[in-house]
Amino acid sequence: MIKAEQKPMDEILRYLSPYDRILLSGCGACVTVCHAGGEKEVELLASALKMAFRKSGKSLEVLEATPARQCEPEFASELSETIEKVEAVISIACGVGVQTLARHFPKTPVFPGVNTTFLGETVTHGVWEERCQACGNCILERTGGICPVARCAKQLFNGPCGGSSKGKCEIKREADCAWQLIYDRLKGLGQLYRMEEIIPARRWGVESRDSGPRRIVREDLKV
């Protein structure tokens, strides 16, 4: 799922300084799972913002909402009436959610309250790690289900660099070397021959964001 982290309080307060009535909108999907922008975080951040305003001798009215999925137009439009009543919106959904609100409500400023960080997996309670870069051409079939695009610091396609040592990456010593993981997994599966195949240069220009924002059109689903 998409992972995010709340922005520093000072930065959020800086966005809000001209206003005294805002909507704080969370999202019931990914950011709820990573405890960055769910209903609970909306409540906590609303109190913290009000308190910070009071401390500086001002007051802030915060309306709260947590649509089920802020990135879906039908859920975003549920906020129409509330948004009429406020001067600005802080969204603690991911960057997609922020943009959905911005597109729907052209007259209201929408500010991000979180930094969207990566597509990742829960490793253990309170720990998340990046697993996918949405590169547009999945090669997990060749790499034992472990992604070198997301998990190798140099995005190598043909095995570990010389800096792989005792299973760890030289760049972040606490991080596993993705290619060591791939090697171990393929060995366990009896598929080490896969490591001998050369993966040719990628077609970044066709598959990835490098040729501009990507779009999927499904004629069978259009109305």
CA distance 15 to 21: 13
Q: Which of 8, 145, 167, 188 binds another protein (CB under 8 A)?
A: 167
Q: For the segment 10-49, give every residue that binds another protein (CB under 8 A).
A: none
Whichever of 46 and 177 has its CB closer to another protein, that residue is: 177
Whichever of 119 and 156 has its CB closer to another protein, that residue is: 156
Q: Quick one: which segment of 26-34, 60-68, 120-128, 153-161 binds another protein (CB under 8 A)?
A: 153-161
How many residues of this chain bind another protein (CB under 8 A)?
A: 31
Using alpha carbons, select from 44, 43, 24 the residue that is nearest to residue 93: 24
Q: Quick one: which segment of 1-9, 16-24, 43-51, 180-188 binds another protein (CB under 8 A)?
A: 180-188
Using alpha carbons, select from 18, 24, 213 the residue that is nearest to residue 134: 213
Q: Which of 80, 165, 191, 211 binds another protein (CB under 8 A)?
A: 165
The answer to the question of residue 221 lying near another protein (CB under 8 A) is no
The residue count for the chain:
223
- Residue 67 in tokens: 């649509």
Whichever of 57 and 200 has its CB closer to another protein, that residue is: 200
Fill in the amino acid letter for 223.
Answer: V
The answer to the question of residue 135 lying near another protein (CB under 8 A) is no
Q: Quick one: which segment of 42-50, 55-63, 122-130, 169-177 binds another protein (CB under 8 A)?
A: 169-177
Burial class (CB within 10 angstroms; exposed 0-12, middle 13-18, buried 19+) of 141: exposed
- Residue 196 in tokens: 């001998």
Over its C-alpha atoms, the chain yields an Rg (Å, rounded) of 22
